[in-house]
Structure 1
Amino acid sequence: MCEGNSQAMVAKQFTIVQVVPEMDEGGVEGETLDFAVYLARHGHRSMVISGGGRLVRQLEESGVTHIHWRDIGSKSLRCLKYIRKLRCLLAREHVDVLHLRSRLPAWIGYVAWKGMNPLTRPALVTSFHGFYSVNSYSTIMTRGERVIAVSDTIRDHIISNYKVDPARIELIYGGYDTSAFDPARVSRDRVETVRRRWNLLESSVPVIMLPGRITGWKGQDVFVSALEQIKDLPYYALCVGDTEENPSFTKRLKEQIGAAHLEDRIRLVGHCDDMPAALLVADLVVSASSSQPEAFGKVAIEAMAMARPIIATRQGGSLETIRENETGWFVEPSDPDDLARCLRLALADRDRLTVVGREGQRWVQAHFTAQRMCEKTIGCYRRVLEEKEKRRTGQILSVVQMLPELDSGGVERGTLEIGRYLAEHGHRSLVISGGGRLVKQLEAEGSTHFDWDVGAKSPFTIRYVLPLRRLLQQEQVDVLHLRSRMPAWVGYLAWKSLPKKRRPVLVTTFHGFYSVNRYSAIMTKGEGIIAISRSIEQHIREAYRVKKDIRLIFRGVDKDIFDPHAVDPARVAHLRSGWGVNGAVPVVVLPGRLTRLKGQDVFVKALGLLKHAEYQALLIGDTEDNPGFTEELRELARQNGLEDRLSFVGYCDDMPAALLLADIVVSASSNEPEAFGRTTIEAMAMGKPVVATAHGGSMETVTPGLNGWLVRPGDPQDLARALDEALELPARRHSFGQAGRELVNHRFTMQQMCEETEAFYRELVGARRRKLVDSIARCPVETRG
C-alpha cells in the first residue's frame, strides 16, 4: 500500500493531477491544456497524465509536468497496471486534487484513489464533458467529491439520469484562451498562410467553416447535404479536423461530396495547428452536431471570440453560449433543409455577418474566457478541500437516515427535523425512504431524498443492499442511522458487507415497543443505540439483554412551529369553519393515525359514557389509511349516538392550528404504549391540557395534577371520568396547559433533541476516527512507487 504523510489540505499552492486519455485535439483536451497552463503560471504544481499527443509539447513548454502512460485510455487489461502506479504517485507527490476528465481513465483513477486512506488521500473531482450513454460504465463520472458540469444542460442530464446530490455538482462553463483567440493578435501573414495552404485564392468568395473531429455526430454529412442545396451561391466550405482519425467516415464524406459534384468547393483540410488564423479565414462558422448535442460547444465560443458569426443546432450547450439573432442562429438538428435555409439567409447580407460577429465577440469576452473557467475551477478545488478538511476533523458529517416512508407520524417528523438541523449546520443530510407527503418539505429544507422502497416486507427488498453499499462508499457517509426494522435489515447488511475501515458509524433508534423476536433484534445492532424514552431504554435492556451504552434522547417539539403566538388566528378560523366546530362548547381532540393501537375505539366508547353533555369531539387522522377500522369507528359512534358530536376530519397538515383549536387533547393508545408520545408534548407546547394512558412514554411527560390526567389503558370508564373532570373545570384546564408548556420549553424541544443527536454522532465518529488513526500509526508506510 502506498500511503503518503498527510499534508495541509487547504494550502495556498496546490499540487494538481489531471488525467485524460490523450492530449491531441478536442474540447476536453483544450480545457485540460488551458487549465494546466493556468495552474503552472500561478505557482501551482501542475501535472497531466495522458497517452500523449500533439498538445504535450505545449504543456511542457508552459511548465506543466506531463506523465506519458501510453495505455491510460486503452480499453484493455493493459490499463490496469496504472492503478497501483497512480496510487503511489498520488501519495509520493502529496497530490491535493485528482481531476478525472474521461471515463476509462476515471475508472483507473477512482480505483487507485479509493484504495488510499480516506484521511490523507487527495480530493477527487470529475468533469462531465459530454452526454455519455447512461449506463454503469458512465456512472464513474458521478463519483467525484465534486462533479463539474460544463453547461446547465449537462447538469440537468446528470440530475435526471444519475442519483447525485445536486450540492456536489458545480456548473463551470468552458472558456477560450484570450491570448490566442483575439483577432488583434493574429497577423495578416498567419491568415494568408492558412489561405494559401487551403488554396483559397478568391478573397471575394465567402468561406463557410465547420471545425471539429470528422465523426458522424459532428454532422459533417448534414453540412454537405445543406451545401448541395445552395450550390447556386458562391462559397468555399471547409471541414477542419483530422481526416485520419475516422477513415471510414472520411471516405463516406468524400463520396458524398463527389456525388454532389462539389469537390472544388468543399474541402476536408485536415487538422489545423493555428485555429485563430483559420477562423479569421472564415466568414461564417457552423456547428452541425446532430445525433448528439454539444455538451458545451467550444467551437462556437472560439468562433465568436474571433468575431465570427455562428450557426449551430438548437440543442445542448449551444443554447447557453449563443444568443439567437444576436451572436448567431439556430437550426434544427439533422435537418439539412433548415441548415441550407439559414446559410442562404446569412450569406445574403455580408454586412450583417460582420455586425453579428462583433456582438458575439463582446458576449464571449464577458462570459466565456479560459481565465474565468480556471478561476472557478480553482474556487471549486478550494471549497472541496476546505470541506474535506472539515470532514476529516469531524466538523462536517455526512448522515444517511433510513425509514419506510415519509408520510406522517412521529418517526417521519423526527427524521425531517434531524435532516433540517443537519443541513442548516453545514452537514450533508441524505434520507432513504419509499416516499410520501413529506418528501417535498424534506428536500426544500436541504436534504437529498432517495426514493427506495426499503420498507416493503418482501424478499425483493434485499435488492437495495448493493445500491446502498455503493451509496455509502460514493458519498463517504459518516453515519448510517436506521429508524425502522425492515430498512434496518437492508442497512445492516449493506454496512456489514463493507470492510471495517470503510464502514460508517451505525446508529439505530428504538421508536417503539417492537415485538421481541429476531426480526426486531436488528434494532440492537447499532454501534450507537438511541432510546426515545426511559421506558424504551428499559425495554431494550430487559428484552434483549443489551450491555452496550444506550443513549436516551427524548423527542422534541419545534418551538418555532408549535408556539401559540406563532399561529395566525386566521389559520384556526379556517379549520374551525372547515370542520364545522361550534365555538360555544369545549373541543376534545384525538390526533393520530386511525389504528387500533392509537385507541380511537376506546375514545369513542368513553365519549358515549360522558356525563358532561356540552362538548364537540374531533378525530384527526387520514380516514383512507385504514378504511376498515375507520368504518368500525363510524359504526361505534352511531351506536353511541355521537353522530352530532364526533367528527372524522381526516388528515391535517396544520397541526399547530388544530391543537390551538382544541380545549383538551387525548392520547388513548391502549393495546401498545406510546414509546414517547409526540402528540402529547406538541399539545403541551400549544398550552393545552392532555389526557393520556398511563403507560410507556406518557408516564415521563404527563404528571397528574400538574399538566394533565393519566388513565388506565383500554379503560373507557376511566377515560370518561378524566374527560368529565376536564370538561367541568376550565380553570384547571388552563393551569395544566400552562404547566405543560413550561415543561416542554425546559425539557422537550426539537433543538435539544437535534443537538443531543448531533453530539452523539460526533462522539461515535470521533471514536471511530481515533481508532483508524491509531491503526495507521501502527502500520508501516510504503512510499516506493
Structure 2
Amino acid sequence: MKRVLVFAERMLPSTQTFIPVVVDALTTFSPQYAGLIPAEKNYPLNSAPILLTSDRSLRSRVRREAYRWTGASPAFHRRIAKTNPDILHAHFAESAGSAVSIAKALDIPMILHLRGGAEMHSDDVLRSKLFQRPYLRWREQLWQRASLFLCVSEFIRRKAIEAGFPEDKLRVHYTGIEMSRFTRSEPVPERDRNLVLYVGRLVKYKGGDQLLRAMQIVRRTNPEARLAVIGDGEFRAHLEALAAELQVPTEFLGEKPAGVVRSWLERARVFCGPSVTLEDGMSEAFGNVFTEAQAMGLPVVSYRHGGITETMLDGKTGLLADEYDYQTLAANLNTYLRHEQAWESAHELGMQWVRENFDVRVQTRRLEEIYDEVIAAYAPRRRKTIAV
C-alpha cells in the first residue's frame, strides 16, 4: 500500500481533530504521522508520530526553532525515510521550512494544506511575530517546491492569491466530518428550547464577546435564554468577567471530548459562533464545527465572515449577520429560539446539506485521488536515496 507522510510541526494539538478524522478515513494510503514537537495538549493518535524532539523543554523548543530556520537534521530525515513515504502532506503555511526540507531530503512530492495561518497576514504582521519569520525565509522555496496547495475554503484560496501563492497550484478541498459521529440519536432526545451553544477555542477572533452581547439582547424578550460554552483559551477569563457583567447565565465547560460535545449538540436549540476579523487579518478559515452542528440538526447563527459562509446555506440552514452587528445576531438567535417553523426547516435541511456535501469518507476518497495525481506527475529531482 502507498504511504502518505502526514506532517504538522506540533503533533498534535487536541483541537486539530480535522487532521486525524481524515487520516482515519484513508483506504488506499497508509499514514505515517511526523512532527517537530509534541503539543501542550495532545490528541490521542492511533499510531505514534516520528518527532524531531520528544518533549517541550527549553532545549527541545530551541532545537525545533533551529530546524524551522535551517531544515538541517539528517538523523530526523533518516528516521522518516525508513517509512518509505510516497508523498508528503503537510499542514499550515507556517511549516514551510520543515515541509520543504523533508520533501527535498526524501525526494518526494509535497502537498501543503492552507488552514488559516500565515497566508492570511501581511508581511509587516508576519515580520512582527518571531514564530512567523521562518515562513518568510522559506516562502518562495515553498511556492516552487510544493506540487499543490489545498485550501480549506474558497475564502482561504482568495487570501492565498492575495498573499502571492501561485494560483495554478491552489485547489479548494473541504475536509468533511465523520457522519457516524454526528448523526442524531434515535429516538430523538428532547432539546432545551432556551439553550444556545458555542464550541471552539476561546480566543479573540472567535467572537465570544459578540455572542455574550447578543445574548444580553436576546434575554430582554426571552429571559429564560442561556448559553453553554465548550472550549478553552486565553480569552476565557475576559469572557467569564463579561458574562457576569452583562448578567448572561453562561456555563463555561472547558475543553471536552468528542462524545460530550456531541451530547451538547443534541441538547441545544441553536449553535452560534460569531467569528470576527482582527486587525492583523486573523479570521475563520472554514469552521468544521458549523457542519458538525448542522449534521446534528442544529440551526447555526454567525457573522458573514471568512469561510463560515461556505459551511451553511444562509437563510435556509442558518442565519448570518454582518460582522460586529450583534443586534442582528441577537435577532437571528431569537428566530430559532422562538419560531418553531423556522427551526424545523433549518433542522431538516441542515442535516441533508451536510450529508450531501461534507461526508469525510467521500472527501477523503477525493483526497486520495489527488495524492495519486500528484505522485504520477512528480519527477524525482535525483536518483540517490537517503541511507537508512
Task: Please list the CA deviations of residues 45-78 of structure 1 after superposition, one character each: whole Å capped at 9, or x if unmatched.
Answer: xxxxxxxxxxxxxxxxxxxxxxxxxxxxxxxxxx
Task: Report the alpha carbon displacement of residue 434 of structure 1 after superposing the two structures with TM.
Answer: 1.3
Q: Which of 50, 53, 78 is equivalent to 1:450?
A: 50
Structure 2: how far apart are the matches of 1:453 and 1:459?
8
Task: Report the alpha carbon displacement of residue 494 of structure 1 after superposing the two structures with TM.
Answer: 3.5
Task: Please list the CA deviations of residues 11-63 of structure 1 after superposition, one character each: whole Å capped at 9, or x if unmatched.
Answer: xxxxxxxxxxxxxxxxxxxxxxxxxxxxxxxxxxxxxxxxxxxxxxxxxxxxx
Task: Report the alpha carbon displacement of residue 491 of structure 1 after superposing the two structures with TM.
Answer: 2.6
Q: Which of 345, 350, 365 is equivalent to 1:755?
A: 365
Structure 2: how far apart are the matches of 1:664 and 1:539?
30
Instruction: Tell me: CA distance 1:538–1:487, structure 2 relative to 1, closer, same or farther (3 Å).
Output: closer
CA RMSD of aligned residues (A): 2.8
Task: Please list the CA deviations of residues 90-109 of structure 1 after superposition, one character each: whole Å capped at 9, or x if unmatched.
Answer: xxxxxxxxxxxxxxxxxxxx
Query: 1:544-559 residue pairs with structure 2 within 5 A?
Result: 544-559=164-179
Q: Which of 542, 563, 579 is equivalent to 2:183?
A: 563
Residue in 1 aligned with 2:332? 722
Residue in 2 aligned with 1:430? 33
Once the two structures are overlaid, the 10-residue window that deviates more, 677-686 or 704-713, is 704-713
Residue in 2 aligned with 1:475? 83
Instruction: Tell me: CA distance 1:584–1:590, structure 2 relative to 1, closer, same or farther (3 Å).
Output: closer
Q: Which of 231, 241, 245 is equivalent to 1:639?
A: 245
Residue in 2 aligned with 1:703? 313
**Counterpart residue type for residue 450 of structure 1:** I
Residue in 1 aligned with 2:211? 603
Q: Which of 630, 637, 655 is equivalent to 2:236?
A: 630
Residue in 2 aligned with 1:592? 200
**3-state secondary structure, aligned to 2:167:** coil
Task: Please list the CA deviations of residues 153-200 of structure 1 after superposition, one character each: whole Å capped at 9, or x if unmatched.
Answer: xxxxxxxxxxxxxxxxxxxxxxxxxxxxxxxxxxxxxxxxxxxxxxxx
Instruction: Tell me: CA distance 1:495–1:465, structure 2 relative to 1, closer, same or farther (3 Å).
Output: farther
Instruction: Tell me: CA distance 1:657–1:428, structure 2 relative to 1, closer, same or farther (3 Å).
Output: same
How high is the sequence identity, in percent, across the aligned residues?
Answer: 22
Question: Does structure 2 conserve the Cα–Cα contact (< 8 Å) formed by 1:402 and 1:487?
Answer: yes
Structure 2: how far apart are the matches of 1:698 and 1:421?
24
Structure 2: how far apart are the matches of 1:744 and 1:428?
26
Structure 1: how far apart are the matches of 2:266 and 2:28?
31
Structure 2: how far apart are the matches of 1:465 and 1:714?
45
Please tell me whether residue 484 in structure 1 is matched to residue 92 in structure 2.
yes
Residue in 2 aligned with 1:735? 345
Structure 2: how far apart are the matches of 1:403 and 1:752?
27
Task: Report the alpha carbon displacement of residue 692 of structure 1 after superposing the two structures with TM.
Answer: 1.6
**3-state secondary structure, aligned to 1:618:** strand
Task: Report the alpha carbon displacement of residue 560 of structure 1 after superposing the two structures with TM.
Answer: 1.1
Task: Please list the CA deviations of residues 279-337 of structure 1 after superposition, one character each: whole Å capped at 9, or x if unmatched.
Answer: xxxxxxxxxxxxxxxxxxxxxxxxxxxxxxxxxxxxxxxxxxxxxxxxxxxxxxxxxxx
Question: Does structure 2 conserve the Cα–Cα contact (< 8 Å) formed by 1:688 and 1:734?
Answer: no
Residue in 2 aligned with 1:527? 147
Structure 2: how far apart are the matches of 1:755 and 1:488?
26
Please tell me whether residue 508 in structure 1 is matched to residue 120 in structure 2.
no
Residue in 2 aligned with 1:651? 255
Task: Please list the CA deviations of residues 665-711 of structure 1 after superposition, one character each: whole Å capped at 9, or x if unmatched.
Answer: 01111134321111100001111100021021111222222111001
Q: Which of 750, 767, 774 is equivalent to 2:377?
A: 767
Instruction: Tell me: CA distance 1:451–1:709, structure 2 relative to 1, closer, same or farther (3 Å).
Output: same
**Counterpart residue type for residue 470 of structure 1:** R
**Counterpart residue type for residue 366 of structure 2:** E
Structure 1: how far apart are the matches of 2:216 and 2:11?
36
Instruction: Tell me: CA distance 1:490–1:462, structure 2 relative to 1, closer, same or farther (3 Å).
Output: farther
Q: Which of 668, 688, 692 is equivalent to 2:302?
A: 692
Task: Report the alpha carbon displacement of residue 426 of structure 1 after superposing the two structures with TM.
Answer: 5.5
Instruction: Tell me: CA distance 1:592–1:452, structure 2 relative to 1, closer, same or farther (3 Å).
Output: farther
**Counterpart residue type for residue 759 of structure 1:** E
Structure 2: how far apart are the matches of 1:566 and 1:397?
38
Residue in 2 aligned with 1:42? none
Q: Structure 1: state its 5+ residue gaps.
A: 1-394, 573-582, 777-785
**Counterpart residue type for residue 427 of structure 1:** S
**Counterpart residue type for residue 99 of structure 2:** G
**Counterpart residue type for residue 598 of structure 1:** K
**Counterpart residue type for residue 242 of structure 2:** L
Residue in 2 aligned with 1:670? 276
Structure 1: how far apart are the matches of 2:122 and 2:345?
40
Please tell me whether residue 493 in structure 1 is matched to residue 101 in structure 2.
yes
Structure 2: how far apart are the matches of 1:567 and 1:592?
28
Residue in 2 aligned with 1:404? 10
**Counterpart residue type for residue 587 of structure 1:** L
Task: Report the alpha carbon displacement of residue 734 of structure 1 after superposing the two structures with TM.
Answer: 1.9
Task: Please list the CA deviations of residues 743-768 of structure 1 after superposition, one character each: whole Å capped at 9, or x if unmatched.
Answer: 11111111122112211111111112
**Counterpart residue type for residue 315 of structure 2:** G
| Larger RCO (CA within 8 A; separation ≥ 6) | 2
Task: Please list the CA deviations of residues 553-592 of structure 1 after superposition, one character each: whole Å capped at 9, or x if unmatched.
Answer: 11201011111137996xx9xxxxxxxxxx7642100110
Structure 2: how far apart are the matches of 1:418 and 1:727?
34
Number of aligned residue pairs: give it.
350
**Counterpart residue type for residue 34 of structure 2:** V
